[in-house]
Amino acid sequence: VVVNVASTEPHPAWQECYDDLGALEAALAERPGVLPPSSLHAYAAFKAGHGFVDFTPSFGTRVPALAQLAEQAGVPFAGGDGKTGETLVKTALAPMFAHRALHVRSWYGANILGGGDGATLADYGPRASKIQSKQSSLGKLLGYTPDGTVHIDYVAELGDWKTAWNHISFEGFLGTQMKMQFTWQGCDSTLAAPLVLDLIRLTAAAQQRGDAGPRPELAFFFKDPIGNPADSRLVMQFEALRDWALAGRVAA
Amino acid sequence: VVVNVASTEPHPAWQECYDDLGALEAALAERPGVLPPSSLHAYAAFKAGHGFVDFTPSFGTRVPALAQLAEQAGVPFAGGDGKTGETLVKTALAPMFAHRALHVRSWYGANILGGGDGATLADYGPRASKIQSKQSSLGKLLGYTPDGTVHIDYVAELGDWKTAWNHISFEGFLGTQMKMQFTWQGCDSTLAAPLVLDLIRLTAAAQQRGDAGPRPELAFFFKDPIGNPADSRLVMQFEALRDWALAGRVAA
Amino acid sequence: VVVNVASTEPHPAWQECYDDLGALEAALAERPGVLPPSSLHAYAAFKAGHGFVDFTPSFGTRVPALAQLAEQAGVPFAGGDGKTGETLVKTALAPMFAHRALHVRSWYGANILGGGDGATLADYGPRASKIQSKQSSLGKLLGYTPDGTVHIDYVAELGDWKTAWNHISFEGFLGTQMKMQFTWQGCDSTLAAPLVLDLIRLTAAAQQRGDAGPRPELAFFFKDPIGNPADSRLVMQFEALRDWALAGRVAA
Amino acid sequence: VVVNVASTEPHPAWQECYDDLGALEAALAERPGVLPPSSLHAYAAFKAGHGFVDFTPSFGTRVPALAQLAEQAGVPFAGGDGKTGETLVKTALAPMFAHRALHVRSWYGANILGGGDGATLADYGPRASKIQSKQSSLGKLLGYTPDGTVHIDYVAELGDWKTAWNHISFEGFLGTQMKMQFTWQGCDSTLAAPLVLDLIRLTAAAQQRGDAGPRPELAFFFKDPIGNPADSRLVMQFEALRDWALAGRVAA
């Protein structure tokens, strides 16, 4: 299984050849740069008969032609952007507001970290991919997009210790405005490493039992899951993952 | 439907007659004080054919003899202790640690509030009932009881604005120790009122369709739900509530 | 006394005529736009014999020629940028780290607010003036500039409630790394209004007793005080203010 | 110089002999337990001609008879209760509210820690001494005692990492209610050790230049300083310490 844990890339402009495998391969023959590195690695993995996991918010397998290739080659793939900190908490917490009919007026997040990942995200292009990936889940979880944004800032001395503050302003009965805040102090590599190991094992198992193409059952691990799964709630993602894993075990 | 929203009572010592309706009624005939006020109100409600909701951590219907009476009378009851703030967040957040195999080393909570409720909880007896109710869910959600305790303090000037700080120390891959903190600034009455309204409607609906006795399907609303439901995760409690409510609607 | 409480302007490029009153007046005769609005108002105030207070981080009286004019006209002026929230806390807190020889590794601030002020600061130019003003005090207070930055974001629904999170990473004995965080929930107008009133009274009193030109004794009120006062510590600014105010009272 | 860094003791009931050295020595001859261990150590230090530093909130030198002995013996002493975390922040922060005429409605603190110190403070008696010491500075700094209390709880797994949350509710112009919160994550031994070293050097220097008896100039280091110094503001305590240290250096 090939896993992309490289730094975040900016997303390329959409190209017509992304929609069809034949057209994509013809374009690649002339201009290998038609695909960004993350997608090129996915292409190579599929061609060689290997599953692919995108642990970043990069373009990766977000190309219909690559999904066609994976189905043909009988290999599974999953992604994108490992859910290790702030977004993990969001997918656990946002359902609480939704289920209790507490209207979220704004949800703001500030993230600081150092290290190579922090340095990359200090550039605008990659950060835009990341922020889009971080915010996408909130709309799905709440049914509307609250006010607010997400900031990622590079603070060199923090190294791998990703620190996040989230401020949530919400409204209850009779319009009463209330607040919740959380801070998260997590070691990003330590949070990511076991997810990568699990993803490798689960993707290999999927291939063994013939589950090819995008694997929405692995949404539990991702900020912006491929395959458009219906439910973004963390607990339901866990249940879906367990049901799928157990079903496979029974079949075996 | 009779709803108990009185201030928290200390729990009485257990008495043998609590286990049997006949014995309880015999004891009541001689000593009405054999039951604390919350349980006496539940008894009266059941005798009069009304459902009962305990929105407090008081003793209420935690008497097997009263459950027998409710079943006989064909009336439903639910409780206990409305889940409006810190514990609500816990039941949303703790599954995240459990599902990600992040071991919670300690979970500490400090709660401050004023008002009548705050003043009552400043006394030791009622506070003990409350704290026990607050901590009970964590063990069920995690599968073990982490270090830490819960404090409730009376700060008069805050009035109804219950403010809580929770500090969670957890351990990831290779024993790395990480932290999460949250603060909650909620208006307690505003959070409680719509739950009380929903509970009245749902209990009345349960009675109409013949669902007598303890209603574990209403666990979504409570810190320490009656009827010992298997799953303490907020999202699963919501799913159970919705399934039950919709099943009833279809039947009607 | 004229007070500038307009929204923050971007700073203009420096012009030679700013250094000399004669040159400035010659330039103004031809191009009134040679001064930004805040400075033009200061010029008009001085010409009319009135003191001027700049409650914003705008260019205002940061023009040597205007200081010459104020001295000539015998009018006092003060500024810039009222210190109402995050920076107020910084000037109270940073001396603690300095005096205890706790080395501040990074100091990061995220600010969110709505209202007209928030909307203006969402534009890059004004925000740059503001952020520069906010960070300037930290270097003076610590003797070095720690890692980190300050963010100001517009979150419409918060209105006038400026909310800030600051994360401070510091190092003690034997290199041990520790953290402090604070959050501030302040109503910006409410915090600013009494300062404006005090500044008007104090500036009027200064004029009465003949204290013309820049008034560094009013540094207590500002993020980026005019007149380059030696001590940026809040408590020492208060002592300087009180000494000056009492000296004036005695003289009167 | 003898330094008391033992765990906190409960305070004894006041005894008449504490007011006079002769009476105290007579009582000691009969009942050595008339003084708690911390005070007995101070007595022994003074008798042997050594200065004494009480880094704890214990009774120590809070005995007038011991001050008489120190003056006679020409030895200095200082204390009590090293100011390393929450109270350090309070003495830096509270002047901000006082100087800006922001009325503090309540100030609440929750402290959690493990280790031997945490275990001792879990017992009621020692904790009472500690809490009294922690709260005493707030009244002096503000001129009134706001609502609220301080909690210290033992959370074994945190070890030496003292973690504190403070919630401050304050009132500004026109009665507007605002909030500030801070959290502190400090390694208690690391924060204490350099203070102990400095105190030893400064107490030895005091003795060398003949400054006997209680040393209020060392108030900078303590939660509840001996000698009743007039100013409890951290910055002014630092200025007083520096002035005193420099005066000594000049004299030498």
Give the helix ranges, DSSP H, for A20-149.
21-30, 37-47, 64-73, 86-99, 115-121, 124-142
Judge: B93–A89 Cβ closer than 8 Å, yes or no.
yes
- Is there a contact between D111 and D86 (Cβ–Cβ < 8 Å)? yes
Other chains touching D, judged by 3 or more CB pairs under 8 Å: B, C
For residue C166, which of C154, C156, C151, C153 has the smallest C-alpha distance?
C151
Radius of gyration of chain D (CA): 19
Predicted pLDDT of residue A230 = 83
Judge: D155–B147 Cβ closer than 8 Å, yes or no.
yes
Q: Which residues contact A2 (CB under 8 A, 6 or more apart)?
A: A41, A42, A44, A45, A50, A51, A52, A53
pLDDT band at D252 (very low <50, low <70, confident <90, very high): very low
Predicted pLDDT of residue C70 = 97
Task: Dump pLDDT digits (tens) for A206-225.
Answer: 999 899 999 999 999 999 89
Q: Which residues contact A230 (CB under 8 A, 6 or more apart)?
A: none
Q: How many CB atoms lie within 10 A of CB A162?
A: 25
Per-residue pLDDT at C251 exceeds 60: no
Judge: D183–B181 Cβ closer than 8 Å, yes or no.
yes
- Is there a contact between C46 and C73 (Cβ–Cβ < 8 Å)? yes
Predicted pLDDT of residue D130 = 66
Out of B182, B190, B234, closest to residue A182 by CB:
B182
Query: Per DSSP, which regions of C127-228 are E strands?
Result: 150-154, 161-171, 177-187, 213-214
Judge: C235–D95 Cβ closer than 8 Å, yes or no.
yes
pLDDT band at C118 (very low <50, low <70, confident <90, very high): confident
Mean pLDDT of chain D: 91
Q: How many CB atoms lie within 10 A of CB C252?
A: 8
| Section D32-55 average pLDDT | 96
The whole-model pTM stands at 0.93
Higher pLDDT, B169 or B8: B169
- Is there a contact between B86 and B219 (Cβ–Cβ < 8 Å)? no
3-state SS assignment for residue C79:
coil
Per-residue pLDDT at A155 exceeds 90: yes
Judge: C151–A155 Cβ closer than 8 Å, yes or no.
no
Which residue of C124, C131, C144, C163 is the best one to mutate when testing the A interface, meaning the one whose CB has the most A CBs within 10 A? Answer: C163
* Secondary structure of chain B as H, E, C letters: CEEECCCCCCCCCCCHHHHCHHHHHHHHHHCHHHCCHHHHHHHHHHHCCCCEEECCCCCCCCCHHHHHHHHHHCCEEECCCECCCHHHHHHHHHHHHHHCCCEEEEEEEEEEECHHHHHHHCCHHHHHHHHHHHHHHHHHHHCCCCECCEEEEECHHHCCEEEEEEEEEEECHHHCEEEEEEEEEEEHHHHHHHHHHHHHHHHHHHHHCCCCEECHHHHHHECCCCCCCCCCCHHHHHHHHHHHHHHHHHHC
Give the C-alpha separation, C101 to D190, whole Å. Answer: 12
3-state SS assignment for residue C12:
coil
- Taking contacts as CB-CB distances below 8 angstroms, the residues of chain A near B193 are 173
Which residue of C173, C184, C195 is the best one to mutate when testing the D interface, meaning the one whose CB has the most D CBs within 10 A? Answer: C173
- Is there a contact between A188 and A160 (Cβ–Cβ < 8 Å)? yes
Query: Per DSSP, which regions of D79-234 are E strands?
Result: 103-113, 150-154, 161-171, 177-187, 213-214
* Weakest mean pLDDT among B158-162, B247-251, C6-10: B247-251
Judge: B153–D155 Cβ closer than 8 Å, yes or no.
no
3-state SS assignment for residue A196:
helix
For the sheet with A161-171, list strands across it.
A150-154, A103-113, A161-171, A177-187, B177-187, B161-171, B103-113, B150-154
| Section A134-160 average pLDDT | 89
- Taking contacts as CB-CB distances below 8 angstroms, the residues of chain A near B172 are 186-187, 190-191, 194
- Is there a contact between A106 and A178 (Cβ–Cβ < 8 Å)? no
Judge: A194–B172 Cβ closer than 8 Å, yes or no.
yes
Angle made by CA atoms A248, B240, A138, in degrees to the nearest 5: 75
Give the C-alpha separation, C107 to C166, whole Å. Answer: 7
Mean pLDDT of chain B: 91
Say how many CB pairs under 8 Å bridge B and D: 65
Per-residue pLDDT at A76 exceeds 70: yes
Per-residue pLDDT at A127 exceeds 80: no
- Taking contacts as CB-CB distances below 8 angstroms, the residues of chain D near B179 are 185
Q: Which residues contact A25 (CB under 8 A, 6 or more apart)?
A: none
- Taking contacts as CB-CB distances below 8 angstroms, the residues of chain B near D107 are none
Give the C-alpha separation, A58 to D219, whole Å. Answer: 57
Give the alpha-carbon dihedral of B235, B237, B243, B249, to 10 degrees: -120
Predicted pLDDT of residue B126 = 63
| Shortest alpha-carbon distance between residue C98 and chain D (Å) | 10
Give the C-alpha separation, D55 to D222, whole Å. Answer: 8
For residue B21, which of B89, B80, B70 has the smallest C-alpha distance?
B70
- Is there a contact between D26 and D17 (Cβ–Cβ < 8 Å)? yes
Judge: A234–B96 Cβ closer than 8 Å, yes or no.
yes
| Section C49-59 average pLDDT | 94
- For C183, the closest chain D residue by CA position comes to D181
For residue D165, which of C165, B182, B94 has the smallest C-alpha distance?
B182
Reading phi first (left if > 0) and then psi (alpha if -120 to 50, else beta), residue D220 is in alpha
Predicted pLDDT of residue C164 = 96
Phi/psi of residue D190, nearest 5 degrees? -65, -35
B170 has which bridge partners? B104, B178
Other chains touching C, judged by 3 or more CB pairs under 8 Å: A, D
Give the C-alpha separation, C189 to C55, whole Å. Answer: 12
- Residue B241 corresponds to which tokens in the numbers above? 């509530």
Predicted pLDDT of residue A252 = 45
- Is there a contact between A193 and A174 (Cβ–Cβ < 8 Å)? no
Helix (H) or strand (E) holding C52: strand C52-54
Q: How many CB atoms lie within 10 A of CB A123?
A: 13
Task: Dump pLDDT digits (tens) for B88-131.
Answer: 999 999 999 999 999 999 999 999 999 877 777 766 666 666 67
Judge: C178–D172 Cβ closer than 8 Å, yes or no.
no
Please state the ipTM of this predicted complex: 0.93
Give the C-alpha separation, D195 to D59, whole Å. Answer: 20
- Is there a contact between D48 and D55 (Cβ–Cβ < 8 Å)? no
Scanning the structure block, which residue is given the tokens 């003898």? Answer: D2
- For D176, the closest chain C residue by CA position comes to C190
- For C147, the closest chain A residue by CA position comes to A155
- Taking contacts as CB-CB distances below 8 angstroms, the residues of chain D near B112 are 106, 108, 148, 167
| Shortest alpha-carbon distance between residue D69 and chain C (Å) | 32
Predicted pLDDT of residue B229 = 87
Judge: B112–D167 Cβ closer than 8 Å, yes or no.
yes
| Shortest alpha-carbon distance between residue B191 and chain A (Å) | 7
- Taking contacts as CB-CB distances below 8 angstroms, the residues of chain A near B95 are 92, 234-235, 238
Percentage, residues of chain B above pLDDT 90: 78
Phi/psi of residue C222, nearest 5 degrees? -125, 150
Reading phi first (left if > 0) and then psi (alpha if -120 to 50, else beta), residue B74 is in left
Q: From the centroid of its chain, how far is CA A210?
A: 23
Judge: D112–B183 Cβ closer than 8 Å, yes or no.
no
Task: Dump pLDDT digits (tens) for D147-195.
Answer: 998 888 999 999 999 999 999 999 999 999 999 999 999 999 999 999 9
For residue D65, which of D23, D2, D10, D33 has the smallest C-alpha distance?
D23
Reading phi first (left if > 0) and then psi (alpha if -120 to 50, else beta), residue C79 is in left
| Shortest alpha-carbon distance between residue D162 and chain C (Å) | 10
pLDDT band at A57 (very low <50, low <70, confident <90, very high): confident
Pairing, β A213-214 against β A76-78:
parallel
Give the C-alpha separation, D131 to C235, whole Å. Answer: 26
pLDDT band at C252 (very low <50, low <70, confident <90, very high): very low
Which residue of A103, A105, A190 is the best one to mutate when testing the B interface, meaning the one whose CB has the most B CBs within 10 A? Answer: A190
- Taking contacts as CB-CB distances below 8 angstroms, the residues of chain D near C185 are 178-180
Judge: A165–C110 Cβ closer than 8 Å, yes or no.
yes
Radius of gyration of chain B (CA): 19
Give the C-alpha separation, A184 to A123, whole Å. Answer: 23
Give the C-alpha separation, A194 to B15, whole Å. Answer: 51
Out of B112, B148, B179, closest to residue D108 by CB:
B112
- Taking contacts as CB-CB distances below 8 angstroms, the residues of chain C near A181 are 165, 183
pLDDT band at A47 (very low <50, low <70, confident <90, very high): very high
- B-side interface with A, Cβ within 8 Å? 88-89, 92-93, 95-96, 99-101, 172-174, 176, 178-187, 190-191, 193-194, 220, 233-236, 238
- Is there a contact between A52 and A58 (Cβ–Cβ < 8 Å)? no
Judge: C173–D194 Cβ closer than 8 Å, yes or no.
yes
| Section A224-251 average pLDDT | 87
- Taking contacts as CB-CB distances below 8 angstroms, the residues of chain B near A191 are 172-173, 178
Q: How many CB atoms lie within 10 A of CB A176?
A: 17
- Taking contacts as CB-CB distances below 8 angstroms, the residues of chain C near A106 are 112, 155-158
Per-residue pLDDT at B252 exceeds 50: no
